[in-house]
Amino acid sequence: MPDPQYLTDTGPGTGRRRPARSWLHTDAPKLSLNGAWRFRLLPGAPGTLGGDQVLRRSGALPHDADGRPEEPFAMAAAGYDDSGWDELTLPCHWVMVGDGKYGSPIYTNVQLPFPVDPPNVPDENPTGDHRRSFTLPEDWADSSRYGAVVLRFDGVESRFAVWVNGEFVGTGTGSRLASEFDVTELVHPGENVIAVRVHQWSASSYVEDQDQWWLPGIFRDVTLEARPVGGLEDVWLRADYDHQTGSGVITPQLSCGDEAFPVRLSVPGLGVDVLWNSREDVAPVHIEQVEPWSAERPHLYDATVAGDAETVSLRIGFRAVRIVGDQFQVDGATVTFHGMNRHEIRADAGRVFDEEFAREDLALMKRHNVNAIRTSHYPPHPRLLDLADEFGFWVILENDLETHWAIEEIETDRLNPTSDPTWHDALVDRMRRTVERDKNHPSIVMWSLGNESGTGANLAAMAAWTRRRDPSRPIHYEGDRTTAYTDVYSRMYPSVPEVASIGSDDTTPLHGATVTESARLRTRPFILCEYAHAMGNGPGALDRYEALVDAHPRLHGGFVWEWRDHGLLTRSADGTPFYGYGGDFGETVHDGEFVVDGMVLSDSTPSPGLAEFAAVAAPLRFGFEPDDRSLRVANHRHDADTSDLRVAWRLEHAGRQVLEGRPDVAPVPAGEAARVNLPPLPIADVGETWLTVEAALAEDARWAPAGHVVARQQFDLTPAPEPAAAPVPPRAGARNTDVTGSFDLGPAHFEGADLVRLAGRPVSGPRLELWRAPASNDALASSPSSDAHDPAASWRGADWTPTGPDASYEDQWHAAHLDLLSSRLLEASRDGSSGGGMFHVERRYSVPDSAASVRVVEDWALDGDRLALDLSMIASPEWQIVWPRFGVRFDLPAGVDHASWFGTGPGPSYPDSRHGVQVGRFEAGIDDLFVDYAVPQENGHRSDLRSLTLGSADADGGVTPWLRLDTAPDEAGRRPGFTLSRWTAQQITAAAHSFELPGPTASYLYLDAAQNGLGSRSCGPDVWPTELLRPGSRSLHLSFKEL
């Protein structure tokens, strides 16, 4: 039986553990143990001092006739009666099944959900006992054919012990790492019994604090494998490439006995057929010409390594990874990472792998110009890496390690496991298992030691082992701030000015480094291993980081945090399904919405932020010179030319196409550009002229159909307007200041000073609105405010706390009562002369306990069949904060649920996120205009509105138009944006989840003269100053027409 203290052992595991090896596709016989298991959940760990007391108090263990509870490991016996247990289908996390019967998920980011007392864990430690029988084939017992039977667990959280036929096998650690045990002597032909005890908390929990859900259970495959006598225990085919000659070399490493020989290497696609008769014959194989593998051209060769007893199948890709000076290169060309941090998560199953889901996940990445993955913060299911090889991604493969709690821990007598000698063997073992399992994948171009674990001797030891084992791949670890034992300089969430400093050759000290160390860091390739925190509506400023990467060769791009929201599918009290985040499962210690911070929502809907990323990361960029109509096509790919793409253009007048073409663009090599002349392009006599250029797939790809747009860019060809003459105010007749009654002004009906109907339907407004439902990046303050501190200087060490002017914008806005605007009527007068009509209204809007105000002047004027409205909004000087928005709101009937518009679209845009949209004509229903973030917040703003037609959807799918609204630019050429929503900003603010939004009773049209930017301040820099919205004066020029 195991030592009861195995739960707190800081070693790598015990018992019949086998050495780590590759996850191979082999013809050796296998028996899957996935499927139905018997299961029970205990509230404590039997055999531990405190756990036994928890079990005694709970009465969870059965008792005999004399009242004695069962022995701690009685469940391991082959004949144990488990008929009263439940049934569980593996792989799974037990907290994800049973509707809460087996506990609930827990989310924390940095903090641990139990007392910090390493390596000890609480007495209340949910423990899942699993049992099943399996039938071992008769021939597996033939020792002349099979030398071993291996039991493999690909993923168990967080620690487990296993028995076969009542005999103790061993204990396993490393939740996202494979554990193999030799059970040869414990199994027999026919029926056998396996028992596995899994603990939610263990010493391992202290090194797996990885900003994700704590999800206990056997969540990856369980397999038995018969190892053939004379088999191939492990195979590593290193496939290197010489980009200067086009030649390749396969360097084989075989782990096998002498009896395995002769062994044949076969690569049919290269004509390779090599027979090694003995170990001494195994040698590199040189090939004169090969097609290299890259993330853009992922060419794989099918290979087999075969002996008489076993054949291993691999897919090999030739490439050479090198660091040359401060350049990270593959095949002689510098790599730019347009990457994502990717956790493994499915809303309905946690980290249980589903291949079709994973395949679509990677295809979605490719469709949005993602070319790289950091496997945060552990190795994924091994099949995902097969898919990464196949689809083409640069992969930073990260070890299963994070001790974030220890970085934040202030008690100096506690050692971070990365510095504690008692953890040395376990941490090196984790790195060994990471490398050995996945070393055959060409997609892996860098190993990462782990995440946010401080720095210490154990990390250096992990790096040293890795470098000895695989010198062909560089080593990454962001916590090594001086690159003492790593090969690249890596940072999380630096500001734009700091990244500019890193890319330049100045002498400014970098974060956590001396001047001398900083000089050395500037000789290394630099990677943003996390940036642009994609929590809720955001991130902003992707284009600013991309511009720095273009400008400074040392900067190699980075990895957005993160790919996907981790919302878990659950139900409200009334049965409404929704995607839950921290706190939604009854946790008392949690980190709330910080787990829903992805570019893809929990239901796999791409966010507007992902559209922005796709545009910024587009591998082709265009330029246009109107004078000679020359179109420049620049290929920013790593190695692929443009032969797989077709360039097309279209010309639009006022958003309507008038001309199109497909220029004959010869394939442009990577890193080069070409020019082609377009035919004469007629410019509209009136209105705007836009040229749109696109590059789309010429043929179907693995990840998208032909016609999928890879890059798009627009050029405004509208001639600059002549200086406008100063407007002549209409000549007013005698003003009537008696507005106590009701009157009509064209399609508008007023009662007193208030609009009550428009185009025959009840409408109220315009009402000044400064409030927006705080976005996630408004709600948190992980960095100084760009309004209170110069971001170009603050990264060097601003003295700040998240209070006062550096508090989160949500806190500042609430403190200023921006959600509580009220108005006072200052003036109202109308003029009905000249056969038309004018109506003048002035109001003062203000907030409680403040002298700050905004004076809003409404000038209504009837002009034929159109009703014009000029709005002037003048802020008083008392305002001293950043505003969320600056605009007006109209309250419309609930039946107004459709919009078609000329402006930017089809998605939303904000001041620091505008590349993912284009100018054109679009339409959508009101629900499609709403982005259903896990936490309701500001969303759906469409910028630069020219015209908007509102209507109501018919039962047959048609739309009945109701009202047209046109806008004119203000004196600075700025146009308003619009939002059409079923809810007010205040209603959205009050809801923690979408299902908490009230039933719609109206539709709300917001017309914003300005919006604040988005930034990524929830875990990163604030909005850049030019995109912050400071109080001021703005105007809106609108006209309405009844349809």
Instruction: Quote the DSSP letter at residue 743.
Output: E
Are 423 and 371 in contact by the 8 Å Cβ rule? The answer is no
Phi and psi at residue 100, to the nearest 5°: 90, -5
Q: Per the structure block, which two tokens stand in for 1008?
A: 């914003």
The three-class DSSP label of residue 451 is strand
Residues 6 or more apart in contact with residue 59 via CB below 8 angstroms: none
Catalytic residue at 530? yes
**44 token code pair:** 């404590």
Strands 247-256 and 285-287: antiparallel
Helix segments in 332-472, DSSP class H: 355-367, 382-391, 404-408, 424-438, 457-469
- Does 694 qualify as catalytic in the annotation? no
Q: Give the pairing of strands 311-316 and 301-306.
A: antiparallel
Return all residues near 793 (Cβ < 8 A) that are at least 6 apart. 497
d(CA 162, CA 174): 15
| Cα 766–chain centre separation | 38
* DSSP state letters, 108-121: ESSS-SS---TT--
Which structure tokens are listed for 459? 């990390």
Active-site position among 344, 478, 530, 593: 530
The span from the CA of 12 to the CA of 174, in Å, is 8
What is the maximum alpha-carbon separation in the chain? Answer: 112
Chain mean position to CA 917:
20
**Is 540 in contact with 1023 (CB distance < 8 Å)?**
yes
* DSSP label at residue 374: E
- What are the two backbone dihedrals, phi and then psi, of residue 375, each rounded to the nearest 5 degrees? -85, 70
Region of 708 please: left (phi>0), alpha (psi -120 to 50) or beta.
Answer: beta
User: In angstroms, rounded to a whole number, what is the distance separating the alpha carbons of residues 417 and 719?
Assistant: 65
Q: Are 912 and 1024 in contact (CB under 8 A)?
A: yes
Backbone angles phi, psi at 908, to 5 degrees: -75, 165
Q: Which of 545, 556, 550 is nearest to 498 (CA)?
A: 545
Please list the residues that pair with 580 across neighbouring strands.
568
Residues paired with residue 198 on neighbouring β-strands, in sequence order: 128, 160
Catalytic residue of the set 398, 452, 546, 694: 452
Catalytic positions: 452, 530
